[in-house]
Structure 1
């Protein structure tokens, strides 16, 4: 697959608005340029060319923006339409002497759920060669027809750090599911993690620390 490197400008304002406040004792955000390369894309929620990745210019986070990520149920939806997923393999290039972990992830989209229907957003992320982290699940119940948001936080003591001095892919997995539940199966319910204008993005917040000095 052709390697893609995407620019940072489009997500700058949104990333600044949602960046988590710094905690006492955190490592200084590294100087220089952090880039994120997409080295693998797979899943029904992100057909080729429908997922864009951008690093924040202040090195605090990166965004993933989807343009065709929608799960639906009812109203004659196909048997597999109730579940959509996306698996991204990302190569994060960081300044020498630093390593990173994902401290928080913010997921956003739109949900139209009939009374009795419900939708779920699931996610996890892990480094190539490491065991997968626990998959978080957020549920949204109908009736509702509005934007949704969910966040996953990791305590500092539980952070999983990229190995210093090694190039390991960061694997990011997400999933949407919609169930008709007790709603009328002829009524459509859906849940998306996309935006027609590109303004809705998933945001992954970095935590930084310095690598041990070579002996």
Structure 2
């Protein structure tokens, strides 16, 4: 059975780069080999924390991927549809919320964006320590489609932020001893 991707050639990836306090230059492991299936990469420096010993700047962390693409088969567009993230969450106390924001836009139209938001509240008084996997999906009507010639720069900003109603609660999101924070992107396609 043929898939929709068997009927056209996907865009060429001219370059990839990353920016943000969660992925300083040289700290992101990414390969474009599987980009049009599911683009996966590791963020070894991505970490956020909150608590009496942390400062305000440490409460939110972001990494923005920039994918510079060239043309593909005329008449097709793509959009980021799904975003998966995985990281290690540790919370000591109740009253802390970790919120994930994923924002997508093309550089040619920076005002045209789609954002998904997911929150994970801490409701336990005792310690919480677990691998946190989140999946967000952009609704069909909010998808940000590539230009029909499939050229330009796609930007995907992944941000995690802690907020708290308690003073002495501490929390951490980032890499564990055995794994880095990871992201994965999934696509959808349509005719222009």
Same fold (TM over 0.5): yes
Indicate the TM-score class for this superposition, using the shorter chain for normalisation. 0.7 to 0.9
Q: CA deviation at 1:122?
A: 1.1
**Structure 1: runs of 5 or more not aligned:** 1-25
Aligned partner of 2:62 in structure 1 is 85
Matched, 1:206 2:187: yes
Displacement of 1:123 in angstroms is: 1.3
Distance 1:32 1:158 in 2: 22
User: After superposition, where does 1:145-184 map in structure 2 within 5 Å?
Assistant: 145-182=129-166, 184=168
Tell me which of the two structures has the higher relative contact order, counting C-alpha pairs closer than 8 angstroms and 6 or more residues apart.
2
Aligned position for 2:16: 38
Residues 79 and 65 of structure 1: CA distance in aligned 2, closer, same or farther (over 3 Å): same
Q: Following the alignment from structure 2 to structure 1, what is the Cα–Cα distance between the partners of residues 178 and 67?
A: 24
Identify the residue that residue 63 of structure 1 maps to in structure 2.
Answer: 40
Q: TM-score normalised to the size of structure 1? A: 0.71
| Separation in 2, partners of 1:122, 1:203 | 14
- CA displacement at 1:132 relative to structure 2: 3.8
Q: Report the counterpart of residue 15 of structure 1 in structure 2.
A: none
The runs of 5 or more residues in structure 2 that have no matched partner are none
> In structure 2, how many angstroms separate the alpha carbons of the residues matched to 1:36 and 1:103?
21
Q: Which residue is 1:5 aligned to? A: none
Name the SS for the 2:4 alignment partner.
Answer: coil
Structure whose residues are more often strand by fraction: 2
CA drift at 1:27: 2.8
What's the secondary structure of 2:148's corresponding residue? Answer: coil
**Kindly tell me: are residues 158 and 203 of structure 1, through their superposed partners in 2, closer, same or farther at Cα, counting changes over 3 Å?**
same
- Which stretch shows the higher mean deviation, 96-105 or 166-175? 96-105
User: What's the counterpart of residue 119 of structure 2?
Assistant: 139
- d(CA) in 2 for partners of 1:161 and 1:121? 22
Between the aligned partners of 2:9 and 2:32, the Cα distance in structure 1 is 14
SS where residue 77 of structure 1 aligns? coil
**How many matched pairs?**
183
Deviation at 1:43, TM superposition (A): 1.5
User: What RMSD, in angstroms, separates the aligned Cα atoms of the two structures?
Assistant: 2.9
